Structures are given as structure tokens and as C-alpha cells.
Amino acid sequence: MNVKMIKNRQRNKKLYIGRKTLAVLTILLMFGAAFYLKDNALANTAKAENEESSKGSEEFENVTKEEIINSGKIYDGIYLDEVDVSGLGYDDAIKEYEKYTAKMGKRKLIISDELGKFDTTFNKIGFNVDSKEAVCKALTYGRRGNILNRYKEICALKNDNVTLIPEKRIDEKELKKIMLNNEENMTKSSTNATMVRTDGEFVVYPSEKGLGINYGNTIALLKSKLKEAWNNKDLVIDAVTTELEPEYSEDDFYGVDSLLGRAVTEYNNKNPERIGNLVVGTKKIADSVVLPGQQFSVYNTVAPFTEENGYQNAGQYINAELVDGLGGGICQVATTLYNAVLEAELQVDERYPHSMTVSYVKKGMDAAIAEGYQDFKFTNNTEYPIYIDAYAGGGTISVAIYGHETRPANRRIEFESQVIETYEPGDEKTVYDDTLPSGTTNVTEAHTGYYVELWKHIYEDGELVDSVKVNGSQYSAIPKTTRIGTMTE
């Protein structure tokens, strides 16, 4: 085969491929033209149907509310939620839809979690729907936008009904307020681990996780549900909850392994009422657990001083006088605890001396409490929980504080009460008291007054390394006073 014949064949092959490609392109163009003519005819049909309410795509993009209201009837097959508004005009559609929304407002909203539930009505959370806005959207369906978009919406109606979901609004603040008022049934606080001391051994009780409600996310969940189709029945949603971790678990309590401080005071066994008060008060502070950073208040722990709370009338200092009162003697409980706190070197927040000196501790080492104006408070400033072990009986009150020891073994402390000033009681006084029955005589013995400073001395390896002033205490001087009753019936 010569070269000329080969070139002719290659040229004929190229011509054949070119003619075939041209034929395919021609067929595609014909089909495209046919589809275009069909779409154009359909679009013209849609345009003819909309002529009464439209004069061009630009006007539909900027249609006014008045034009919407006057645009005619809603196309067949359009629903607002469950309400069929087919063929209705603006006013009639609003009437029909508002009948439906009025029922919506009376429906219950039920919010629940694993602990409980509560319910309210939608009207109570400010439920509302803009029915005019909803009907306007129904009227403009198939009438707004360019010709192709309108054509597609009209075709969708021919294939199936179209349900429009109008925006439903609620008062979020009111809903949160109602949820907060009902959270007791649906939430649970976490519980820290705790411990007790039994037969010289600590028993640790485990912590428990709590359950809280994420109010913001729960409200957001409800709003998302209201964007979905709703069958106008009571609506139930699950609250969005948060697991609440306890601050301290049982692992934290296993570090409580050391005696940090102990104090013992003695009392007279001849006054049963006062002894009763000491026993009651000591039991109330016993087994207390104070977590790191937590403050302990003696008054809040042992009060109120009432018979119902176990207290009896016994002697107590009031305004530098010894008088009977419910809870008399409770200051000795506070004082014993104060001394144990000093030994444990915990942070003392509030402490008051008595108006006169007491016999059961050194001057400056007492702690008075009185309803409304005196308390003994301290804070656990260690990194571990502390446990208060307390007992009253046999003429003594014993308080021990347990925790985790971090102080060096070669370190010890001592407390010294330094009398800075002394005040003599003065001459004996006689007072005639019309609040005491005639023939009654009460004698208050003389008390010397003092200003005292309490110092803490710190030793390391037996050597004094520092001295720190703990407090300054003022005690009143009281002359011997005889009160003679003059009250007559």
C-alpha cells in the first residue's frame, strides 16, 4: 500500500468522525430546543394564571402587603400547619388559622427528665403566632419570585399538598422562670463523700452525682420543635440535663489519717442543767466534716437555744453578770473547740472573749457565743477535709480534729497567755432590784479585770524559731454585787 492511499484513508476517517459528531450535536440541540419550548410554554401558563396578581418578576420581588392581601385566593393544596386554607382569601384564611392557634395556646407543654416532670400551657409561656404573616406567606406561594420559581411551586401543588410551618414564638424568660419554679422535681444536687468515726476507725460514705437542667439548651430544643409540623396536641420534650459532679469523692477522705489538734476542758458535775447543755452542744458539733475552704460556725451548728432543741436553763454571762438562760454553758463547748482549732493551726475567722474570765481555760483561750452578736467561726485552710470528733461526759469535754498532717515532724507549738494589764474590781455594791421577788438576795462575786495577749511559740528541733500573737482579750472588772429583791405581788 502506497503512501497516497494511506493519507486518503486517514482523511476519510477524520471526515467520518466529524460528520458523526456534528449529527450528535444537532440531536442534542434539537432536544434542548424542545425542552426549552416546553418549559417556556409551561412558564407562560404559570404567568397567565398569575396575571391577576402580578405584572412581572421584578414586581413580585418587591410586592407590598396590600398587593398580597388583594392578590386573590390561596392556591389549592396549601396548608398552614394542619389548617387547609385552599381557595381562601386573606380575611377568611386568618379566621380559620386563628381558630387553630387559639387551641394551640391551650395545649400543655410537658418537660421531663429521669427524675420527674412538670407541665404548663403554651399560653402561660407567651405563645403566639403572627397569623397575618402566616396567611401572607400562603397567599404569595406560587406568586412570588421569577417565573421559573413560581412555576416550580405551582407544579409542586399539583403533585402533593404543601404544608407551611409559620413561626411560633414564646417568652423565653417566662419559660425559664416556670422551669426554675419546678426544678425541685427534676434536679438533684450532687452529694460529697463524708465520713464518721466509729470505734476508733473512720468509715467513708461515697459521693453521689447530681442532675441539673441546662435551661438554655432546653429552651433551644423547644424552639426547634416548634419549627416542625405539629399536630396541635400536648407537646412532650426531654429536658437537656447536665450531670453534676461532687466536689469531693471518697478518695479525698482517705487522706484523713492524722490527729491535727486535741483539747480537753473540765466541768463541775454538781449542776445537772449545765451538764445537759454541754452534752447537747457537744453532740451537735460531733461528727462534723469541714471541707477545704469551708467555714464552720459554732452558733449555726448548735442553735437555736430552745427547750425543743434540747437545752435547759443554766448560768451564763450576760452584760458582765451571771444569769440563768437556756443553753447556759454552751460557751465551754465553743471554747474547747477553739483550743483544738488553735492546736490544729486552722484559720480563725471570728472569736470573742467572755465579758469576764472563765475558770476552765487560760485567759485569752476562751470563745464566747451569744445569739445575734457573738460566734466562733473558723475555716478549713488545708487541702483535705477535716473531721471533728467531740464527746462530753465524766466531767470533761474532749474535742479532736482529724485531717492530713503536712506540718514537719520536728515542729511543735506552745501557747502562752500574757497578762498585759490588770483592773481591780472596786468596792462592793448593793442593788435593790424590783424584778426580783421581795426577800430574794442574789450575790455576784467580785471579778478582777484583765487585758491579755495570747501568743503562739513555734519550735523546730526544740529551738524557738518564731512567736506569733494570736489575739488580744479584754475582761471586765466587776465588784462584788448583792441584789435584793423588792418586787411585790
**Residue 45 maps to a domain:** no
Q: Are residues 242 and 109 in the same domain?
A: yes
The pLDDT score that the predictor gives to residue 229 is 84
**Last residue of a domain, which of 405, 439, 471?**
405
Mean pLDDT of the 189-217 span: 92
Residue 383: inside a domain, yes or no?
Answer: yes
The answer to whether residue 19 scores a pLDDT higher than 60 is no
Determine the average pLDDT of the residues in 119-146. Answer: 92
Question: Which pLDDT band, with edges at 50, 70 and 90, does 71 fall under?
Answer: low
Please give the tally of structural domains in the chain.
3
Q: Who wins on pLDDT, 312 or 324?
A: 312
Looking at the fold, whether 400 and 418 belong to one and the same domain comes out as no
Instruction: Give the pLDDT score at 4.
Output: 47
Q: Give 80-111 pLDDT, tens digit per residue.
A: 999 999 999 999 999 999 999 999 999 999 99
Question: Taking the CA atoms of the chain, what radius of gyration do you get in angstroms?
Answer: 45
399 and 449 part of one domain: no
Looking at the structure, tell me whether residues 306 and 209 fall in a common domain.
no
Q: What is the mean pLDDT of the chain?
A: 85
- Say what the pTM is: 0.65
In a domain, 452, yes or no: yes
Contact 80, 164 (CB under 8 A): yes
Domain endpoint, select from 250, 284, 306: 250
Cα distance between residue 142 and residue 29, in whole Å:
31
Pairing mode of beta strands 235-238, 108-112: parallel
Domain identity same for 246 and 131 = yes
Residues 92 and 189 in one domain: yes
Q: Are residues 396 and 264 in the same domain?
A: yes
Decide if pLDDT at 204 tops 80.
yes
Per-residue pLDDT tens for 251-307? 889 889 999 999 999 998 888 999 999 999 999 999 999 999 999 999 999 999 888
Q: Is the pLDDT of residue 127 over 60?
A: yes
- Is 466 in contact with 485 (CB distance < 8 Å)? no
Output the pLDDT for position 68: 63
**Residue 10, domain member (yes or no):** no
pLDDT value of position 487: 87
Unique residue bearing C-alpha cell 473547740? 337
Please tell me the predicted confidence (pLDDT) of residue 296. 98
Model confidence pLDDT, tens digit, residues 335-379 = 999 999 999 999 999 999 999 999 999 999 999 998 888 999 999
- How confident is the model over 473-482, as a mean pLDDT? 92
351: number of Cβ within 10 Å: 24
Do residues 222 and 175 touch, judged by C-beta distance below 8 A?
A: yes
Question: In terms of domains, do 431 and 401 share one?
Answer: no
Boundary of a domain, candidates 186, 220, 250: 250
Residue 52 predicted with pLDDT over 50: no
Give the pLDDT score at 96: 95
What percent of the chain lies above the pLDDT cut of 70?
A: 83
271 and 319 housed in the same domain: yes
Query: Is 6 within the bounds of a domain?
Result: no
pLDDT at 478 over 60: yes
pLDDT at 66: 64
The band of 60, judged by pLDDT with boundaries at 50, 70 and 90, is very low
Q: At residue 45, does pLDDT exceed 70?
A: no
Higher-pLDDT residue of 371 and 17 is 371
Q: Residue 28 has what pLDDT?
A: 38
Range of the structural domain that residue 124 is part of: 50-54+63-250
